A and B are shown apart, each in its own frame.
Chain A
Amino acid sequence: MAGYALNYLALVARDVESACRFLGGSLGLQRTDVTFEGRSIPFFGVGQSALAVFELDDPYLDAPSFPGVHHMALGADDPAATAARHELPVTDEGIGPDGKRYVAIDKAATVGIRTRFIEPLEIPAKPGPAYKIDHLGIASDDNDGGVRVFVDNLGCPLESTQTDIEIRNVTESFISDKYGAVYHARPPEILGGLRDVFITIGDCELEFLMDYDPTMKPKDRLGEEEGNTKGDQSAIAKFVERRGPGLAHLAFATKDINAILPKLADDGWRMIDLVGRPGGRGSQIGFVHPSNFGGGLLIHFVQPQDA
């Protein structure tokens, strides 16, 4: 396989127990508790990789640590040699969960994505409604930079690119009982847009989401609504403005979006969507509300075009 595969994704939750109930309980992901420096870290196998849930102040995580997606760990048998081979600067190295050697890469060298190489952990997974990670969403201000790092340097496949545009069309009608009907339409107005680049890391993709209009600064996008392309653009802009570019959300692949969303609502999780809506790559998507698990962790589901 070309490039590198995601071995685990580190999530940070204010309420770890709640996040574990979501992943292990509602999604039925297989849990493995991994001992690490005298504590136990819950890992959940999903597809060919895993999710690890950390407390906000876990010393394994480099500061600043926010609730959300902290870092991704790509599997490499010799992490230090791998970083050196790709000329990626290392900011930290040591022994991680399950005694695996790891190196942390300077995120300035990976367009803001906190990336580690680690000797692969073997976390078992079982079939379930979330059958794999579909993608990791990245609030990006430099998609070309992402391609240079992950495709040109690390050799990961460029899966696809996409442009999302939201347009407003306005029609006015004047309908008179004496003067007849006059209709006129104004020129379409672009409300917002995103450029997406998908890069494969194992059985999932990195999804770089960047403002379609390079002349707009993130702060110009603040304060717009959510739930559509314009809202997504605004959310990306807010993320980049507040934290800088980097890992922003986690998306699971599912075979039946309209089954999983209401099921999660029935389980008591606060949801944004209860039915799928059009998403990238011909998919249907639906969001879990980020107020769950103590707040800050954004998760959505994807029913891929071919699922």
Chain B
Amino acid sequence: MTKTAQAPDLTYVALVVDAPERSAALFETDFGLPRTDFSCGATTVPMISIGASALAFFQPGDPFLGPDARKGVHHVAIAASDPAAAAAASGLATVNGVSKGLDGKAQIELAREATGGVRIRFSEPLGLAAASSDMVERIDHIGVASADNRAARTAFIDKLGCVYESQQTDSEVETISENFTSDTYNYIFHTRPSQLVGSMRVTFITVGDCELEFIQDLTTGVTADDARHDAAGNTRGDRSAIARYIASRGAGLHHIAFKTPDIVGALGRLDAAGHRMIDLQGRPGSRRAQIGFIHPTALGGVLGHFVERQEV
């Protein structure tokens, strides 16, 4: 009997930002996505519906998040009508047992080291309607700084039942040539052996209506410290960013990407609204996409980018 591939649904993605109200307002106003507020203990958590999932905004250090909650993508909540049973079925280690989550829904947290550093919770569904706007269709992917994509495949596909989407290898090769052009002697041209200056393996695993993008640095011989001056925006720079992230925070959730039908339009609209941007034009990204980054300060400390691509 063939098993039908059915990725578990995503309930929400938790983002830790400077000011939840301000970030929620940006998604509501500039992205045009609906907002719903949820109670979480004594605080109110603004939630933005996006595609079949949602973004939940928290302040740094919110006790709901556990110790040392820093700005960035904090955790991913997978939908389960019975979180404890789902966790048990995965066979992955849990921490703290079942507790009350958003709106008092049951939730349980998986041990981070069991999921390649990605903080995963099972949570009862929140019952939000799907939503999209002319600017954003859904989450495209959630980027993970990964130390071991093979282990991630085991945890997310074999244990959690997520669906393998694709894998790619990104490489940047540098070739240096010298030429000596004389007015008298022969033209001399020579090329030194090409060098691999950056390489990453990127594995996409579907969860809900988007993918987890596990990015593993394959480059050898470059320490995180050596790479600190590498510029962003290319394979060498990206691999360096992943290496530095892992060196400082460990493997785990790294960024979030939003799928847009018009990358230049999306980048331009945020820029026109006064938000700080890294890119105003798309550039080549994974999965034949054009991608463009929003500056983390505009998203309250979360690294985010847009993705425009055709479905294959």
Contacts and interface: CB of A to CB of B under 8 A. Distances in A.
Interface of A: 159-180, 182, 184, 186, 191, 228-229, 278-282, 305
Contact of A278 (B174, B175, B190): B190
B174 A167 contact: no
Interface stretch (B88-96, B103-111, B176-184): B176-184
B286 A166 contact: no
A40 B176 CA distance: 49
Contacts of B181: 162-165
A164 B178 contact: yes
Contacts of A167: 176-179
B183 A191 contact: no
Interface in B219-251: 234-235
A162 B176 contact: no
A306 to B, nearest CB: 10
Contacts of B297: none
B148 interface: no
A161 B182 contact: yes
Given A162-B180, A162-B182, A165-B178, A179 B172 contact: no
B166 A280 contact: no
A165 B190 CA distance: 11
B186 A282 contact: yes
B178 A178 contact: no
Interface string B158-182: 0000000111111111111111111
Nearest to A175: B169
A173 B176 CA distance: 17
Contacts of B166: 176-179
Contacts of B192: 228
A282 B180 CA distance: 8
B184 A191 contact: no
Contacts of A305: 185-186
A164 B179 contact: yes
B176, B180, B197 — most chain A CB neighbours (10 Å): B180
Contacts of A164: 178-181
B167 A176 contact: yes
A176 B185 contact: no
Contacts of A168: 174-176
Nearest to B166: A178
B284 interface: yes
Given A170-B173, A278-B180, 9 more contacts: A160-B182, A162-B185, A165-B181, A174-B286, A175-B169, A179-B286, A191-B176, A228-B192, A229-B178
Interface of A is mostly: strand
Interface of B: 165-186, 188, 190, 192, 197, 234-235, 284, 286-288, 312
10 contacts: A159-B184, A163-B180, A166-B178, A167-B178, A168-B176, A178-B165, A178-B167, A178-B312, A191-B176, A282-B182
Nearest to B170: A174
A176 B286 contact: yes
A303 to B, nearest CB: 13
A93 to B, nearest CB: 37
A244 to B, nearest CB: 26
B216 to A, nearest CB: 15
A293 to B, nearest CB: 29
Nearest to B192: A228
B180 A173 contact: no
A182 B181 CA distance: 34
Nearest to B181: A163
A280 B190 CA distance: 12
A106 B197 CA distance: 50
A182 B185 contact: no
A179 B168 contact: yes
A173 to B, nearest CB: 5
A166 to B, nearest CB: 5
Nearest to A163: B181
B183 to A, nearest CB: 5
Contacts of B168: 174-179
B176 A166 contact: yes
A137 B109 CA distance: 70
A55 to B, nearest CB: 37
B14 to A, nearest CB: 29
Nearest to B287: A179
Contacts of B182: 160-162, 280-282
Given A166-B177, A191-B176, A173 B188 contact: no
